[in-house]
Structure 1
Amino acid sequence: MHMFETLVLLHIVTGTLGLAAFWVPIATKKGAQAHRRWGRIACYGFLGAGSLAVVMALLSLYGPEERIPSVTDRTLFAGLFGWMMLYLGLLTIGFVDYGLAVVRHARDRAQLRRARYQAVMAAVVLSGLWCGGFGLAIGQPLMVLVSVVGVVAMVLQQRFVWRREAPPGAHVGEHFRALIGMGISAYTAFLSVGLVRRFPEQVFNPLFWAGPSLVGVGLILWFTAQANRRKRARSSAPGVPRSG
């Protein structure tokens, strides 16, 4: 078996592991032993899937072999199987890293400002901007859109990291949004790698690539809007002190 096919298999396995474990921390009591254990398993699965996606993307762009030689539009191939896969892999890693970090440093948000965490978020933003620019150049608007929503998600994370004060328990919402983002990886692995190989005529259908990210990041943005509305309602209630 060639190395690339081995990487694809491992990508699907790790993504499936993350997807299977993903629902346990959502369904179980938050903070309970099962929540923590299965949450870690899901994180490791998604981290593996994201890392393998980055490696496969780099091989598709710069590897010695031509991937899927039957595809004649190599520019579009580079866009979807190269730059977009690279961005989605980094986006998944970024969500995993941030989701674990906000819980680990719940009492000291200043730790999230360290170069180690900032570098991961910067890598996501830069790869997203490149993906969007490449998609714009080749006429793939969904590549542009998925890059925009990913960059917005990173901006929301930075807003939490750098704000002067945060209300008690605010890290829980950040952790939840990152958990949704992690779920993007497994669905992307199934749709873009699994279904595309089953239905090769859909190999360049951007919905297979962008759909999971659009839905997942869209849910993150929706959750953020809901949380902000609840916060404003509590702040405007009589007798409730406003937090700065």
Structure 2
Amino acid sequence: MHLFEALVVLHVIAGATGLIAFWVPIAARKGGQAHRRWGRIAVYAFIVAGLLAIAMALLSLFGTEQRLPMITDRVLFAGLFGWMMLYLGMLTIGFAGYGLLVVRHRGNRSALRGPLTQSLLGAVALSALWCGYFGLTIGQPLMAAVALVGLAAIATQQFYIWRRAVPPRGHVAEHFRALLGMGISAYTAFLSVGLIRLVPDHVFNPLIWAVPSIIGISLIIRFTIGARPARRPSQRAEA
């Protein structure tokens, strides 16, 4: 088995593990044993899958062998299976790492301003900018649209890190949004890169690209609204 094929097998195993484990902490009682155990499994599986995706993207871009020869447009191939896959791998790792760090440093946000977190978020931002730029240069604005998701996420994360004060238990919502973002990026990679290997004619079908974001953002909005503290009667009367 060649290196690239071995990476694909390992990527599928890690990705499938993460995609399955991802839903347990979503459904389980927050903070409970199942939530923590399966959350860690999902996070670490996605980090491994993201690293393998980056390795495959680099081999596709700079390796000596031609990948997926059925795609004759090699510029399009470089965009989708090269730079976008690299970006989605970075985005998955960024969301996963940030989701863990937010909980670890929930009582000390200044730790999130250090070189580890900032380098991680900076690498995601750079990969998003290049993915978006490359997509626009080859006439594929959907690559730019996917890149905007990452840039918007980085902006909100930096706002949380650098704002003067955060609400009590604000790290919980930030943790939840980060790990849902991790799921969005992983499912987007699966549907737009993995599944498309079987149906290359739909490589830029907007519906395929949009489904993970629609579901994930809906869950984020639902959680954010549900997590708002109830106002006391005196506050309602004043309003």
TM-score, normalised with respect to structure 2:
0.89
Contact 1:47 1:96 in 2 (8 A): yes
Letter in 2 for 1:166: V
Q: Offset of 1:132 from its aligned partner?
A: 0.7
Q: Give me the whole-angstrom Cα distance separating, in 1, the residues matched to 2:207 and 2:31.
A: 34
- Gaps of at least 5 residues in structure 2 are none
Contact 1:15 1:189 in 2 (8 A): no
Contact 2:85 2:193 in 1 (8 A): no
1:25 corresponds in structure 2 to 25
Greater relative contact order (CA < 8 Å, ≥ 6 in sequence) = 1
Contact 1:15 1:185 in 2 (8 A): no
Q: Offset of 1:208 from its aligned partner?
A: 7.8
Q: Give me the whole-angstrom Cα distance separating, in 1, the residues matched to 2:149 and 2:188.
A: 16
Q: Offset of 1:118 from its aligned partner?
A: 0.3
Letter in 2 for 1:81: F
Alpha-carbon deviations, 1:216-237, whole Å to 9, x = none? 6644774697489x57x959x7
Q: Give me the whole-angstrom Cα distance separating, in 1, the residues matched to 2:200 and 2:30.
A: 41
1:161 corresponds in structure 2 to 161
Contact 1:191 1:208 in 2 (8 A): no
The count of aligned residue pairs is 238
Contact 1:11 1:49 in 2 (8 A): yes
Contact 1:12 1:190 in 2 (8 A): no
Q: Offset of 1:12 from its aligned partner?
A: 1.4
Letter in 1 for 2:138: I
Q: CA 1:84–1:219 in 2, change beyond 3 Å: closer, same or farther?
A: farther
Aligned CA-pair RMSD: 2.7
Q: Offset of 1:6 from its aligned partner?
A: 1.6
1:54 corresponds in structure 2 to 54
2:80 corresponds in structure 1 to 80
1:96 corresponds in structure 2 to 96
Q: Give me the whole-angstrom Cα distance separating, in 2, the residues matched to 1:9 and 1:80.
A: 19
SS at match of 1:24: helix
Identical aligned pairs, as a percentage? Answer: 57
1:205 aligns with 2:219: no
Contact 1:180 1:219 in 2 (8 A): no
Contact 1:15 1:46 in 2 (8 A): yes
Contact 2:14 2:46 in 1 (8 A): yes
Moved more, 206-215 or 170-179: 206-215
Q: Give me the whole-angstrom Cα distance separating, in 1, the residues matched to 2:80 and 2:124.
A: 16
1:13 corresponds in structure 2 to 13
Q: Give me the whole-angstrom Cα distance separating, in 1, the residues matched to 2:137 and 2:216.
A: 24
SS at match of 1:238: helix
2:235 corresponds in structure 1 to 238
- Gaps of at least 5 residues in structure 1 are none
Q: Give me the whole-angstrom Cα distance separating, in 2, the residues matched to 1:240 and 1:158.
A: 35
